[in-house]
Amino acid sequence: MERALILLAAALLVYVAPGIQGTSHLSFANATISPVDITRVGCAATKLCVETPNDCDPTGNNSCLFASVTAAAPVAPNGSRLSIELRGDSMGYIALGLTVNASMGTTMLFVCAQNNGSFFFRTMARSNTNTDMALVGTERRVMEIRGKVMGNVIMCEFDIPNVNASERVGADTTFTVLLGSGTTTGTDLGAFNITLNSGPLDLSDPTSNVANSGILSAYPHAVLPLLSILSMVVVLKA
């Protein structure tokens, strides 16, 4: 049986942590089916994609923890609006974390969860230096929340306005993205088990996690023969 949730809401208000401005411990459930459709279309072109295992298919039947981020043009001094897609396998919750420093400070977690097939959404905070991995309910403004549960697959989409990795005027969208999962009792969330740590990425650049190496750098053994061939061509034409 498929249960899902559609939420077109603006959650309120203010949580301030290094790297993320802004809002509330949210819990939504029991609504209508939502048009959540998460695919790889646009990856490295219009949206930044991170996933585990590599290149897994979020529309397939195999396990795939997948997230995409699309950053709108920044609006000074508030920052940029991020549109998030998140898909994963869990009978508890999946979550996307944003942090400026994965070994220090705080990670802001955006949690998509299920309770016996009913979807709910929460924002949490996790100390990057706290070894007990405890999560704390917190507030962060989140908009356009849509979620869907199909068996053990959780899918959700949401927007995070006014995101800025810097306290200065302007918008810095360089964050480390964490993907993971955990358990839930339906009210309490268990520890966040990190499956993927992206390292620092510019979320406004869909290609920031794509290797920039070209053919020559990927195949250094081909450089010398290629240069020799070019030299022969020059000599023949001289």
What are the boundaries of each domain within the chain? 2-237
Mean pLDDT of all residues in the chain?
Answer: 77
> Which of 212, 230, 225, 193 lies closest to 95 in space, CA to CA?
193
Query: In this predicted structure, what is the pLDDT of residue 96?
Result: 97
Give the pLDDT band (50/70/90) at residue 76: low
SS percent in the chain: helix, strand, coil, step 5: 10, 45, 45
Name the residue type at position 54: N
Q: In this structure, is the dihedral angle defined by the CA atoms of residues 89, 142, 183 and 98, taken in order, positive or negative?
A: positive
Give the pLDDT band (50/70/90) at residue 169: low
Give the pLDDT band (50/70/90) at residue 237: very low
Residue 237 carries which DSSP code? H
Residue 151 carries which DSSP code? T
- Phi and psi at residue 232, in whole multiples of 5°? -65, -40
Q: Is 153 a residue whose pLDDT tops 60? A: yes
For residues 191 and 180, is the Cβ–Cβ distance under 8 A? no
Q: Is 167 a residue whose pLDDT tops 80? A: no
74-101: average pLDDT:
91
Answer whether the bond into residue 53 is a cis peptide, omega within 30°.
yes
Q: Is 84 a residue whose pLDDT tops 90? A: yes
178-200: average pLDDT:
93
Query: In this predicted structure, what is the pLDDT of residue 101?
Result: 85
112-121: average pLDDT:
94
Q: Is 138 a residue whose pLDDT tops 70? A: yes
Instruction: Give pTM, 2 decimals.
Output: 0.77
> Which of 99, 45, 43, 98 lies closest to 66 in space, CA to CA?
43
* CATH architecture of the region 2-237: Sandwich (2.60)
Alpha-carbon span 160 to 171, nearest angstrom: 14
